[in-house]
Amino acid sequence: MDIQEQIVYRYENLKSICRFNWEPADLEKIEKAFDFAKGILGEKRFKHGGVILNHSLEVATIIAQEIGMGPDSVICGILHNVMYAGLEQKATQKEIETEFGKRIFSILGGMAKINALGTDTVDIHSENYRKLLLALAGDVRVIIIKIADRLQVMRNLDVYELESRARLVTETAYLYAPLAHRLGLYAINSELLDLCLKYQKPEAYNYVVNRLKETETERANFVAEFVKPIEIKLRNKDLEFSMKARTKSISSIHNKMNKQDVSYDEVMDLFAIRIILDSKPENEKSDCWVAYSFVTEEYQTNPNRLRDWITIPKSNGYESLHTTVLGPHGKWVEIQIRTKRMDEVAEKGLAAHWKYKGGKEQSGYDAWLAEIRNILENPELNVVDFIDHFRTDIYSDEIFVFTPKGDLKKLPKGATMLDFAYEIHSRLGDTCVGGKVNGAKVTLKHKLKNGDHIEIDTSSNQTPKLDWLEFLATSKAKNRVKASLNEERKVMAAQGKEILLRKFKNWKLELTDEGMRRMLKKYGFKLAQDLYYDLAAGKIDPLEIKSIFTEKEEVTTKLKLEELIPKKDLKDLAFEGGDDYLVIDNNLKDIIYKLAQCCNPVFGDSIFGFVTINEGIKIHRNGCPNAPQMKERFPYRVIKAKWRDTTSKSSFLTTLHVSGIDEMGIVTEITHIIAKDVGVQMRSINVESDKGKFDGKLKVLVYNTEHLDFLIHKLKKVKGVVSVTRGEQ
């Protein structure tokens, strides 16, 4: 294939990619850009021998296909070498602006300035950096196109001289790969790092490549076996989806082997299986959790490896649900569950964000560009310093603070007093309650600044709290807090599980997988551990769980009574709250309910009804000593009840226990208060005296709980009375 055929082939391939999503007018712009570039570049070559136009078309293809940028960016990819320094006749600013507009020239101008800043020329005038700053700050697409340009170069590095290769690999590893990662271009970041490893350590690179080839069939068979039952369940649920296995990048495998000092065969997460759902926007989260439930039903999950970036996405917009399960043949495998939209954002980063956010730049990138501006405005800075910045600080700003002994500690910008405590020691963080910054008292949340001198205050009573995660900045601190909370939660969950199993055994019920799903659905949990935890914490009543299995459906109080008592007895009963509460009048004549003598409820007490077999409905206090047994053994006979609001007065029998020192006339004083001061009617009194102490049991009639409380208050003031309590009988 001659040069012209190569050029036409690459151009037609680019058009076929753009044709799917672009308007006819945009395709015409691509054709115009190609004709313009071809007129300037023809078959001209770089110094290393590569055809310039072929390079430009390949860069444009990367921009369109692998990054997903729009027409302007692709046009810039085609045109980015029309002002190449090695050309005898270059395109002028006027020509580009006339044909394609000022915005295109601005991006190309930024590209040209970056290309002039090769790291082989260290003694560059600072003015060039200011020009680079203007290009970067003007349009982030300058950076993206340059990343695409560098990817094409690295894919074809063999054609470069050895000296140029070393420079390009260094630039790529320390500048362009971290830039790609920062912009969310993870696939490109991984490939750039793989290519760097290929030329830096060819033996290590080839070893991993060969081992991946050797185990390719084994991995494919494992994946096929693993996904089969999941596919069946997803299809039965009528979910549209695709599944694929994603092998870890070569550089990641190599780094893991070195850092963990393990062999290739010992690398656990060699690949991940990705489930990509074609969901409507409103169903995205629920569909992902449905898919997760299918995976965990089929395979044992490791709860410590669940990563929920769907509920709370990463700061760069990444959304996905990750878990690790025990697959066939006892092999652990990572599962990534996401939708097509989430997958595109994960693969194409910033470009996909623009697509789904309506084309608006994110404030985070503006802040990042402002940071670059500060770096580049330093007139003493050269390109080596610039690269060194990205090597050491591309992922976060840093601050330096001092310990009481004067030791220097490095933390990310935004770190708090609590982050500092965890940086010193995990135990110090766990017990930190605040401290001093430059001698002034501050709280845990206080954000630190460069040069701060810090002292930490601790307390043995302090333990990690869930809300700490909201203001911590360092992953070290967050991971420690999560680990502490998870450990506590695990212990509680284990207790809750034991409680549930014991209850089911007592109820003579079997705890099946279907039963567990019913409970999780009722309480809105995704994991059984959450149910166990709430059960141990007392947030869930075991009897309420029992009702899920003993009652076919949630029925109102009125419906319950219709099944338990004759219809003629229902006509005089009143209900409230959608027939959910039986209303108890304080006038208890000619009705089928009575006050239970075991607890003697008084108007105002919290009450419930119990439908007896022969004696109608008995009204009990919720604090009745018989209440737990009735609710557990006969839940279908227990009904909700409340008092009717009324101003009329009726009397209720209740019992009081009075004890104290047996002083002369004390009984007379008590009976006098009951008869005269309060107007309470006394039914009986029984007093026993022994060794100077007395115990009395009074049965009195009161109007309501307020009336009763007032009586108790008066009796407690009698000289010699030590205790007045309400009795059950």
pLDDT band at 589 (very low <50, low <70, confident <90, very high): low
Q: Give the pLDDT of residue 474.
A: 85
Q: Give the pLDDT of residue 550.
A: 67
pLDDT in tens, 168-212: 888 788 778 877 776 667 788 889 999 999 998 999 999 988 988
pLDDT band at 368 (very low <50, low <70, confident <90, very high): very low
Assess whether pLDDT exceeds 70 at residue 365: no
Neighbours of 366 (CB within 10 A): 12
Q: Which residue has the tokens 């009329």?
A: 648
Assess whether pLDDT exceeds 50 at residue 388: no
> Quick check: 168 and 225 in contact, CB under 8 A?
no
> Quick check: 616 and 592 in contact, CB under 8 A?
yes
Q: Give the pLDDT of residue 571.
A: 74
Assess whether pLDDT exceeds 80 at residue 693: yes
Sign of CA dihedral 538, 540, 543, 545: negative
pLDDT band at 58 (very low <50, low <70, confident <90, very high): very high
Interatomic CA distance for residues 55 and 408, integer angstroms: 48
Q: Give the pLDDT of residue 677.
A: 61
* CA neighbor of 325 nearest in space, from 359, 344, 306, 302: 302
- Worst-scoring range by mean pLDDT, 45-49, 472-476, 580-584? 580-584
Angle between helix axes 52-61 and 24-41 (nearest 10 degrees) is 160
Cβ-proximal residues to 256 (8 Å cutoff; 6+ apart), any chain = 248, 262, 267
Q: What percent of the chain has pLDDT over 90?
A: 15
Which whole number is the average pLDDT over 411-422? Answer: 90
* CA neighbor of 58 nearest in space, from 169, 159, 162, 179: 159
pLDDT band at 117 (very low <50, low <70, confident <90, very high): low
Q: Give the pLDDT of residue 482.
A: 82
Which whole number is the average pLDDT over 108-126? Answer: 53
Q: Give the pLDDT of residue 316.
A: 58
Radius of gyration from C-alpha coordinates of the chain: 38
Which whole number is the average pLDDT over 602-610? Answer: 89
* Structure tokens, 533: 């935890």
> Quick check: 79 and 100 in contact, CB under 8 A?
yes
* Average pLDDT value over all residues in the chain: 80
Assess whether pLDDT exceeds 60 at residue 397: no
Interatomic CA distance for residues 150 and 168, integer angstroms: 9
Q: Give the pLDDT of residue 588.
A: 59
> Quick check: 468 and 444 in contact, CB under 8 A?
yes
Which whole number is the average pLDDT over 130-153? Answer: 68
Which whole number is the average pLDDT over 22-51? Answer: 88
pLDDT in tens, 614-663: 788 899 998 898 888 888 877 778 888 888 876 667 788 888 999 988 88
Interatomic CA distance for residues 176 and 169, integer angstroms: 10
Assess whether pLDDT exceeds 80 at residue 603: yes
Q: Give the pLDDT of residue 445.
A: 92
Assess whether pLDDT exceeds 60 at residue 562: yes
Cβ-proximal residues to 447 (8 Å cutoff; 6+ apart), any chain = 414, 415, 416
pLDDT in tens, 650-660: 788 888 999 98
Q: Give the pLDDT of residue 1.
A: 72
| DSSP letter string, 124-166 | --HHHHHHHHHHHHH-THHHHHHHHHHHHHHHTGGGS-HHHHH
Which whole number is the average pLDDT over 581-593? Answer: 71
Q: How far is CA 613 from CA 594, 616, 618, 686, in A?
A: 14, 7, 11, 34
Neighbours of 270 (CB within 10 A): 21
Interatomic CA distance for residues 87 and 637, integer angstroms: 94
pLDDT in tens, 274-295: 999 999 888 899 999 999 999 9
* Residue 315: Cβ-neighbour burial (10 angstroms; 0-12, 13-18, 19+): exposed
Q: Give the pLDDT of residue 124.
A: 34
CA angle 436, 441, 442 (to 5 degrees): 85
Q: Give the pLDDT of residue 134.
A: 39
Q: Give the pLDDT of residue 186.
A: 78
pTM for this predicted structure? 0.47
Which whole number is the average pLDDT over 334-343? Answer: 90
Assess whether pLDDT exceeds 50 at residue 420: yes
> Quick check: 277 and 340 in contact, CB under 8 A?
yes
Which whole number is the average pLDDT over 245-262? Answer: 83
Q: Give the pLDDT of residue 349.
A: 59
